[in-house]
Structure 1
């Protein structure tokens, strides 16, 4: 084997909708070889960061800094369908659900490469003013980007699975 025989453990495989392929690492699992529950939160936050990078065309924190806002998590819920094990690859599809005044919903549907749903998640960030940590309306440019992405995905018929109830 050469160093080039290895692949990244996380990378983008599609952009409309955004699809991220990820490989489970041994350190993300318990001794029985099942992904720790808390690790799924990391998967979702990582998918959100890649989504922001794709949406803005730059690094997510730089783009949000330039616009003067942050996006801490207000809510996160899961519907687990099957376990994931070390070296197993899965894909997370990110779509935009509701866009409200200060919050919006990112829907993440994770599937094995065989197409089985591993988990569904809803991430609800809230927009806050940087430095002040007070909630603000979604900045207009960001709202427009979310709406464009949502509409483009809807036109392609790529809505994510229903997600958690």
Structure 2
């Protein structure tokens, strides 16, 4: 059975994303990453940021980010944003993000470490088993198979 282990969506490069040279100003990519993580939580994991924050009292901040800017993106480009899980720890999730141009060429590659956090205590908290199971759907097949 073939499974899609990548969460993806399209991102339109808007005027506000660009610098005077007409290319994406690099900090805007970090906003795109956060938007992708937020969409992944809502659509991929079934738990919106609103549910996490306001109901469960949890956050999922980025605590580490490594980024390679491979090629520029320009106003009007439609990028394919992809997220896959590299590793799930006790409270952390390491994800890979790729932004691809319309021709499939890599524009930006990033690795983010997210940590599930108890917002009241302001410290990391263990990922609940139910959420962990949903996260596993975005891990490489061989990794998920080994955990069964």
- What TM bracket, shorter-length normalisation? 0.7 to 0.9
Structure 2 residue matching 1:85: 3-state secondary structure: coil
Question: 2:17 maps to what in 1?
Answer: 28
Deviation at 1:103?
0.7
Q: Distance in 2 between matches of 1:52 and 1:35?
A: 25
Question: 1:128 maps to what in 2?
Answer: 117
Question: 1:81 maps to what in 2?
Answer: 70
Structure 2 residue matching 1:108: 3-state secondary structure: strand
Deviation at 1:110?
1.0
Question: 1:18 maps to what in 2?
Answer: 7
Does residue 1:142 correspond to 2:131, yes or no? yes
Higher relative contact order (CA 8 A, sep 6+): 2
Deviations 1:3-37 (A, max 9, x none): xxxxxxxxxxxx75221111111111111101111
Q: Give the conservation status (yes or no) of the 8 Å contact 1:56–1:63.
A: no
Structure 2 residue matching 1:115: 3-state secondary structure: coil
Does residue 1:61 correspond to 2:53, yes or no? no
Deviation at 1:43?
0.6
Mark the runs of 5 or more structure 1 residues left unpaired by the alignment. Answer: 1-14, 156-165
Deviation at 1:63?
4.2
2:79 to 90, 101, 105: 90
Q: Give the conservation status (yes or no) of the 8 Å contact 2:15–2:75.
A: yes
Structure 2 residue matching 1:145: 3-state secondary structure: helix
Instruction: Provide the alpha-carbon RMSD of the alignment.
Output: 1.8
Deviation at 1:55?
2.6
